[in-house]
């Protein structure tokens, strides 16, 4: 088979996916005792920052697709980490709030999340780390439009 110069090792899509897998693996090692997945952690962190968000707003803030977010919310509810109540602004929507157990799980996972970020960024020269994060932010911002 002829080489086309389009190697998977140079594919931004593939490398971002692999980097995400690496991040999830490191998070599992570092914050595994919390019992949270990276996406569950992200949802709890966003809810902690802004209590009372609806699931639609959580989709917007986290970038997690609607059906996956609904599953995450159901799991967090079942574990007693969040609670839902009807939104005051829209009676059809639910507002999400951390429970004391959710706040505790988030606190327990935060050092692992920070260690994950440190481990991921440590492979880059210190002068490139901020640029890398800004580049990722640009990609995410462009994808939202």
Tens digit of pLDDT for each residue in 22-41?
A: 999 999 999 988 899 999 99
For residue range 45-60, what is the model confidence (pLDDT) as tens digits? 999 999 889 999 999 9
DSSP state, residue 64: -
Q: Which two tokens stand for residue 99?
A: 């429970």
Answer with the residue of higher pLDDT: 2 or 66. 66
CATH 1.10.10.10 fits 21-144, yes or no: yes
Give the pLDDT of residue 144: 72
Give the pLDDT of residue 42: 96
Alpha-carbon distance of 88 to 93, in angstroms, equals: 9
For residue range 57-107, what is the model confidence (pLDDT) as tens digits? 999 999 999 999 999 999 999 999 999 988 777 777 788 999 999 999 999
């Amino acid at each position: 088979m002829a080489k086309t110069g389009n190697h998977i090792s140079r594919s931004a899509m593939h490398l971002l996916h692999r980097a995400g897998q690496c991040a999830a693996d490191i998070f599992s090692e570092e914050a595994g005792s919390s019992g949270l997945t990276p996406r569950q952690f992200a949802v709890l962190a966003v809810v902690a920052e802004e209590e009372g968000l609806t699931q639609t707003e959580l989709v917007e803030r986290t970038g997690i697709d609607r059906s996956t977010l609904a599953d995450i919310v159901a799991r967090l509810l079942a574990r007693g980490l969040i609670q839902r109540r009807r939104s005051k602004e829209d009676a059809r929507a639910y507002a999400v709030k951390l429970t004391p157990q959710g706040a505790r799980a988030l606190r327990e996972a935060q050092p692992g999340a920070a260690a994950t970020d440190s481990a991921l960024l440590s492979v880059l020269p210190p002068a490139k780390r901020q640029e890398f994060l800004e580049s990722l932010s640009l990609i995410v911002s462009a994808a939202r439009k």
